[in-house]
Structure 1
Amino acid sequence: MPGTGDLRVVHPALAEAARLVREVPDFPEPGVLFRDISPLLADGDAFAAVVGALGEGGGFDVVAGVEARGFLLGAAVAHACGTGVVGLRKPGKLPEVADRVDYELEYGAASLELAADTVRPGQRVLLVDDVLATGGTLTAACELLGRAGAKVDTAAVVLELTGLGGRARVSSAEVRALLAV
């Protein structure tokens, strides 16, 4: 059953969409209250509102989406804004890798890779992901894109888990969250 609990709507266009965020207790481990945005993404009107809000402000040349839901969001934002999209992938998914960053997550370690010949030096990037938790993924993504010569001006997420302090770790880009808890 979807519910908003203590979810705060940061972007005014998402008041209705926020009601679709589902709370799942004890996932992925006991004591954790997981916020599932899948019902929000499955609703056409809510998804359109999220895509529009993520792409607001423009001023970017390309959108980078973090695997996996960042791909869905990033591709939709890029299409709506008339730019290209670049996927930041998990290891072993790309035939030619330009660079790789290893980083820590709240439940372990991970890596992101950038495909060769997808980002040009000087490009302004809108970085898109679904959730900002501890900030490890967004920080790694900003580092990866920066090492390719691109500039991440804004990292935009659908949901920020403010209690985990991730925003403070993402020091190289403005962070914009549409919903927060």
Structure 2
Amino acid sequence: MNDSINLKKYIREIPDFPKPGILFRDITPLLAEPTVFQEVINRLTAYYQDKKITAVLAAEARGFIFAAPLALALRARFIPIRKPGKLPFETKAFHYELEYGTDSLEMHTDSIHSDDRVLIVDDLLATGGTISACIELANHSQAEVVSCAFLIELSFLKGREKMNGCDVFSLIQYDTE
């Protein structure tokens, strides 16, 4: 690992995207630097390497970017969670509330087993709605959710509070907007 790499330096701030008043944290500059992207995977791997993770679960799409290489590094299965109608096999769904409406996520019915130790990964923790839905999908399979991992946490939005006591690990924190 290279602790001298300042990951925040590679996060671009885009004001008023996708709508006025939102400060978007753009991860594409980090992804464009192979040594920095590798450092993210190295740091996440170091944190989780002794936790006996058997499955790494991520919601589309940006969570896949970090979850797939992390699953390989941990020698765990990668499990994609997708919007309805995107997975080709039999699925189970979880419907959840958003600020203005509802949404659903699905995973294959045979993807998680009751003896799995699951790590849920996404690029960013904001309000926690999507990750809470992923936790519920894993819980419905009686799997143990060990932790939730993020590149970025917007701690001022208090998404951690929606994790039902689940361990949360993030590499970059922003305490204010």
With normalisation by structure 2, the TM-score equals 0.89
1:37 counterpart residue number: 27
* 2:18 aligned partner: 28
Cα contact 1:14–1:46 (8 A) shared by 2? no
Letter aligned with residue 57 of structure 1 = Y
Give CA-to-partner distance per residue, 1:128-168, whole Å, 9 cap, x none.
10000001111110000110121111000000111111001
What is the match of residue 48 of structure 2? Answer: 57
Q: RMSD between aligned alpha carbons?
A: 1.7
Number of positions where the alignment pairs a residue of Structure 1 with one of Structure 2: 170
SS state of the match for residue 18, structure 1? helix
Name which of 152, 158, 164 aligns with 2:151: 158
The 5-angstrom pairing of residues 79-94 of structure 1 reads: 79-94=72-87
Amino acid at match of 2:69: A
Is contact 2:94–2:133 with CA below 8 Å preserved after alignment?
yes
Percent of counterpart pairs with the same letter? Answer: 42
- Whether contact under 8 Å (2:10, 2:27) holds in the other structure is yes
2:21 partner SS: coil
8 Å Cα contact 2:87/2:108 also seen in 1: yes
Shift of 1:107: 6.4
User: Structure 1 stretches (4+) deviating beyond 6 angstroms?
Assistant: none
Aligned CA distance change for structure 1 residues 53 and 110 (closer, same or farther; 3 Å): farther
Question: Cα gap change, 1:172/1:39 in structure 2, threshold over 3 Å: closer, same or farther?
Answer: same
- Is there any run of 5+ residues in structure 1 with no aligned partner, and where? 1-11
Describe the shift of the 1:35–1:107 C-alpha distance in structure 2 as closer, same or farther (beyond 3 A).
farther
Confirm whether residue 71 of structure 1 aligns to residue 61 of structure 2. Answer: no
Distance 1:129 1:66 in 2: 7
1:113 aligns with 2:106: yes
Asked whether the equivalents of residues 55 and 117 of structure 2 are also in contact (C-alpha less than 8 Å), the reply is yes
2:137 aligns with 144
Amino acid at match of 1:53: R
Greater RCO (Cα-Cα under 8 Å, separation 6 or more): 1
Aligned equivalent of 1:130, options 101, 111, 123: 123
